């Protein structure tokens, strides 16, 4: 038993020695299109060690075309110098050339390093492609584009082969998104005009560059010559050797540059092959050639171990001589000369897997590379490609393993962030009173606060500077182009990194630039000027009735008074006994004089009544009709007076936008091409569309170039022009012009934000700062400072409730006429009383034979003493009584006293005395 085991072990050793000692001849074909390092690596590998399953030689050719290459290859493989496998790093041009065909006809394994798959690979089964197939490579880049969330990009290419290499990128791009922009590059010409058009006109920021690795630096140099703010650009370099390019001597390139590759930089295993990696980077072609040798060695060993004939022949068996790679006359000649063991080696290559410089080496049934990994790298701040993660062909997923800061956010000591704004209070203004320009305003303070927060929170000391945009324009798109002017134009041209002012976030602007989170919310409203107050009408109480009504009323009053006088004089009921105690009076008395008639009619229409009333039927009927007339006139006057006072208090009938649209006395406008202008232009609301059409048709134009121009127009319009603008601007102007007001509710809701170029590296920092300032109340404090305190000499108390609380009160200006009439009437009455007093004193003077002065003093003293209710019939004399015969007036006075006495005695039932 033991002897049997020893025999088996001995036979196994013999078998293994036979497999090792049998070396297969291989060859490597090189010309001026292949890399010198590929030939060097091939020679170093085949010469190193004695345990390899092959021996080989490098074949250097001076020709590059397919036919000449095949002719020159023939003598190198004739005269017992045939090879069983050919390492071929030459570019194949996408076809199985003559050399490839010869290998396949003679059963010689053809190991291709080129990226182009032969179009007849399924028929040429002896060809193996060590370069990953382009459909998988392009699939990896399509996944990378999705990972980076590109919404549009430019495809730069040098030749039509790019469309084959990146077919999956093109085919999988969603048709609903903006279409890919294709631009051809000239590796030997000047491409600056092409780059300028893409950056400045098309405003593209994402780019895929498929080019030879030798052209990468040239294109990057041209890019920085036409774009001074490359930090807003992002590039994907699809060449698998792009990571080997040294870009350290292009410090102005601040773009994000990403690439994928099969190999790792400066793999230490190259030193084992005597390759100097200190001064150069080993490229993919060389790595594939080395991996092909590794894989071939393992496949040959596998084939030998699986071949039972090798055990029978023993350790000194030799390989069947492979045929020369030469042209033959017929297909039968190729079949007759084909290498017998070629199929076994072909199958061994397909089944064998290995590990090399390009990772896992494995093939599918068509001889294409499968199950491999692509490394994912980014250009770092130090201009070195840093490994970030990897993509697997099995899962089509990118896995991140390392966090590398984007190169675009890198800042140098010379980096200065340019902030653009437009002149307009309170956001941005220029103070040059001291001979130097000093920028001030809400926007300046806001940026200062934002960068102070960034400096404290993130320890980022960023330098920044303001400048004023040419023309103070927000920016509008040139019709038919993608070019913008104003602030947006400066951002798109990358002349500025940030833009801050009263800049509204709109969908149109957001499509071309990015915005921070809002720092202020607002809406569109109307700026309106209170009409100049009319001079107070002293006699406004007359206004409820028209002039002709007043005239008719006065005439009627006089006529009715005369009619009443006639009726009262004619009617016997109004003639009464003047002495009720005398049953048989000698005389009847009628009190209805013209004075009393006019007093009755006056008291009636004034709703005050009178102390005397008519008694006869006719006079009472006339008086009743007058009272009815006075009732109607008084009620009408009261109602009209109320309406008149209410209308007089109303400053304007415009309370909302609908009122504005339904009238034609007040014109209205907005800033041309600004967000408010666009709001009305694009609105589908019926009222807003009507307003827009009215504004558009107005002559002269109602549009202005700025809010300041609109303000001046409102101030000069005397209430005949309304201006649509943001509510924040209206609030600012209302604090400085007390006769301005905001009319109507906000028409929409919008926000102000800080604008920046697309994909700005500062966006996240600024968003965090604005949130922090909002939470701490600093934004509110800044608004109060610049809206209320700064540059404000007026003290306008804008109490929004004042109009409502005062809506029902009667103002002094409406009642001043009444007071004036009362004052004039009082003065006239006082004047009449004085005249009556003087005349009465004159009568006393004559009657009592006293001096006028004595009579005046006596009557004056009694008149000014409110406690004295009686006065003597005659003032005290300063001289002896007169002996003259009493005057007739005196006698008449005495007779009147006798009459009164008689009436009194009659009242108490004394005998009647006459």
508 is known to lie in a ligand binding site: no
Core vs surface per residue 430-469: b (16+ CB within 10 A) or e: eeeeeeeeebbbbbbbbbebbbebbeeeeeeebebebeeb
Nearest to 199 by CA among 225, 222, 233, 231: 233
The span from the CA of 485 to the CA of 495, in Å, is 12
Do residues 825 and 485 touch, judged by C-beta distance below 8 A? no
The span from the CA of 790 to the CA of 797, in Å, is 16
Do residues 46 and 54 touch, judged by C-beta distance below 8 A? yes
SS3 content of the chain, % helix, strand, coil (to 5): 45, 15, 40
Other C-beta atoms lying within 10 Å of the C-beta of residue 402: 11
The span from the CA of 155 to the CA of 261, in Å, is 19
Q: Which two tokens stand for residue 53?
A: 């399953």
Nearest to 707 by CA among 685, 682, 736: 736
The span from the CA of 542 to the CA of 896, in Å, is 48
726 is known to lie in a ligand binding site: yes
504 is known to lie in a ligand binding site: yes
The span from the CA of 135 to the CA of 370, in Å, is 11
Do residues 730 and 522 touch, judged by C-beta distance below 8 A? no
- What are the CA-CA distances from residue 183 to residues 159, 242, 244 (Å)? 11, 20, 25
Decide the pairing of beta strands 575-576 and 589-590.
Answer: antiparallel
The span from the CA of 338 to the CA of 346, in Å, is 13
Helix (H, G, I), strand (E, B) or coil at 264: coil
The span from the CA of 846 to the CA of 784, in Å, is 83
Cα of 563 vs its chain's centroid, Å: 81
478 is known to lie in a ligand binding site: no
Burial classification of residue 914, based on how many CB atoms lie within 10 Å of its CB (0-12 exposed, 13-18 middle, 19 or more buried) = exposed
Rounded to 5°, the CA angle 487-490-494 comes to 140
Do residues 108 and 124 touch, judged by C-beta distance below 8 A? no
Nearest to 86 by CA among 109, 104, 70, 117: 109
Contacts 24+ apart (CB under 8 A), 764-768: 765/454, 765/458, 765/460, 766/450, 766/454, 766/498, 766/516, 767/516, 767/517, 768/453, 768/457
Q: Which two tokens stand for residue 686?
A: 């019926």
Nearest to 219 by CA among 190, 261, 199: 190
421 is known to lie in a ligand binding site: no
Helices 98-105 and 66-76: crossing angle, nearest 10°?
Answer: 50
Residues forming beta bridges with residue 424, ordered by sequence position? 428
The span from the CA of 100 to the CA of 69, in Å, is 11
Other C-beta atoms lying within 10 Å of the C-beta of residue 669: 23
Q: Specify the DSSP class assigned to residue 806.
A: T
The span from the CA of 672 to the CA of 549, in Å, is 53
Do residues 769 and 516 touch, judged by C-beta distance below 8 A? no
Those residues whose C-beta lies under 8 Å from the C-beta of residue 625, and which sit 6 or more positions away, are none
- Listing DSSP states for 302-368 in one string gives HHHHH-HHHHHH-TT--PPPPPPS---SSHHHHHHHS-TTHHHHHHHHHH--EEETTEEE-B-TTS-
Binding residues for L-glutamate: 504, 509, 675-676, 726
Binding residues: 504, 509, 675-676, 726
């Amino acid at each position: 038993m033991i002897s049997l085991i020893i025999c088996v072990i001995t036979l196994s050793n013999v078998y293994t020695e036979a497999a090792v000692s049998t070396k297969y001849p291989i060859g490597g074909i090189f010309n001026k299109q292949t890399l010198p390092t590929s030939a060097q690596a091939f020679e170093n590998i085949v010469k190193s060690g004695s345990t390899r399953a092959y021996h080989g030689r490098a074949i250097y050719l001076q020709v590059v075309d397919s036919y000449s290459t095949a002719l020159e290859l023939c003598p190198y493989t004739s005269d017992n110098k045939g090879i069983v496998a050919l390492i071929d790093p030459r570019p194949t041009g996408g076809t199985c050339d003559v050399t490839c065909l010869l290998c396949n006809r003679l059963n010689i394994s053809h190991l291709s390093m080129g990226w182009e798959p032969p179009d007849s690979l399924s028929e040429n089964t002896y060809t193996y492609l060590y370069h990953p197939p382009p459909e998988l490579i392009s699939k990896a880049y399509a996944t990378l584009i999705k990972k980076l969330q590109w919404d549009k990009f430019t495809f730069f290419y040098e030749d039509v082969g790019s469309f084959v290499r990146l077919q999956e990128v093109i085919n999988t791009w969603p048709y609903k998104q903006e279409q890919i922009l294709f631009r051809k590059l000239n590796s030997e010409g000047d491409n600056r005009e092409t780059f300028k058009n893409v950056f400045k006109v098309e405003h593209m920021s994402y780019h895929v560059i498929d080019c030879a690795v030798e052209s990468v630096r040239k294109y990057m140099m041209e890019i920085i010559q036409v774009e001074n703010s490359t930090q807003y650009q992002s590039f994907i370099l699809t060449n698998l050797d792009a990571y080997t390019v040294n870009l350290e001597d292009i410090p102005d390139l601040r773009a994000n540059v990403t690439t994928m590759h099969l190999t790792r930089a400066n793999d230490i295993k190259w030193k084992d092959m005597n390759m100097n990696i200190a001064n150069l980077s080993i490229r993919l072609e060389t790595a594939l050639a080395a991996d092909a040798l590794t894989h071939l060695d393992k496949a040959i060993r596998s084939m030998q171990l699986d071949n039972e004939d090798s055990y029978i022949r023993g350790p000194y068996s030799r390989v069947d001589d492979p045929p020369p790679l030469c042209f033959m006359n017929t297909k039968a000649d190729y079949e007759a000369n084909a290498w017998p063991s070629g199929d076994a080696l072909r199958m061994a290559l397909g089944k064998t897997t290995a590990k090399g410089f390009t990772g896992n080496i494995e093939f599918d049934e068509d001889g294409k590379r499968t199950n491999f990994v692509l490394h994912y790298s980014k250009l770092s701040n130090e201009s070195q490609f840093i490994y970030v993660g990897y993509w697997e062909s099995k899962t089509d997923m990118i896995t991140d393993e390392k966090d590398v800061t984007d190169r675009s956010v890198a800042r140098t000591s010379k980096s200065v962030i340019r902030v653009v704004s437009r002149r307009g209070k309170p956001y941005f203004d220029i103070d040059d009173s001291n001979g130097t320009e000093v920028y001030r305003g809400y926007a300046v303070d806001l940026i200062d606060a934002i960068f102070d927060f960034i400096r404290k929170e993130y320890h980022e000391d960023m330098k920044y500077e303001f400048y004023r945009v040419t023309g103070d324009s927000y920016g509008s798109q040139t019709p038919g182009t993608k070019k913008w002017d104003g602030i947006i134009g400066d951002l798109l041209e990358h002349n500025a990194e940030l833009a801050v002012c009263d800049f509204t976030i709109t969908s149109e602007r957001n499509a071309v630039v990015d915005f921070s989170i809002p720092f202020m919310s607002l809406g569109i409203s109307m700026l309106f000027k209170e009409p100049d107050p009319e001079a107070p009408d002293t006699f406004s109480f007359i206004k409820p009735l028209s002039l002709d009504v007043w005239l008719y009323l006065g005439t009627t009053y006089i006529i009715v008074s005369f009619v009443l006088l006639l009726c009262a004089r004619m009617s016997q009921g109004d003639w009464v006994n003047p002495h009720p105690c005398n049953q048989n009076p000698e005389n009847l008395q009628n009190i209805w004089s013209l004075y009393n008639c006019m007093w009755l009619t006056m008291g009636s229409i004034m709703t005050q009544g009178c102390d005397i009333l008519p008694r006869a039927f006719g006079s009472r009927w006339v008086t009743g009709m007058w009272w009815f007339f006075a009732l109607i006139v008084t009620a009408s006057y009261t109602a009209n007076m109320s309406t008149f006072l209410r209308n007089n208090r109303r400053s304007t009938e415009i309370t909302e936008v609908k009122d504005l649209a339904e009238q034609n006395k007040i014109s209205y406008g907005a800033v041309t091409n600004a967000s408010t202008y666009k709001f009305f232009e694009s609105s589908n609301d019926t009222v807003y569309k009507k307003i827009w059409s009215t504004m558009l048709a107005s002559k002269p134009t109602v549009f202005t170039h700025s809010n300041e121009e609109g303000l001046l127009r409102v101030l000069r319009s005397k209430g005949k022009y309304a201006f649509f603008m943001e509510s924040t601007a209206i609030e600012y102007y209302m604090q400085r012009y007390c006769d301005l007001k905001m009319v109507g509710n906000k028409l929409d809701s919008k926000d102000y934000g800080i604008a920046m170029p697309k994909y700005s590296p500062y966006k996240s920092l600024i968003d965090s700062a604005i949130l922090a300032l909002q939470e701490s109340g600093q934004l509110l404090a800044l608004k109060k400072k610049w809206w209320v305190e700064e540059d404000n000499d007026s003290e306008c108390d804008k109490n929004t409730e004042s109009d409502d609380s005062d809506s029902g009160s009667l103002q002094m200006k409406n009642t001043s006429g009444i007071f004036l009439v009362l004052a004039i009437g009082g003065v006239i009455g006082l004047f009449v009383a004085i005249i009556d007093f003087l005349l009465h004193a004159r009568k006393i003077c004559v009657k009592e034979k006293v001096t006028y002065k004595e009579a005046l003093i006596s009557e004056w003293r009694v008149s000014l003493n409110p406690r004295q209710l009686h006065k003597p019939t005659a003032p005290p004399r300063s001289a002896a009584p007169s002996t003259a015969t009493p005057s007739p007036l005196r006698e008449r006075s005495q007779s009147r006293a006798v009459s009164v006495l008689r009436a009194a005695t009659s009242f108490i039932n004394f005998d009647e005395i006459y």
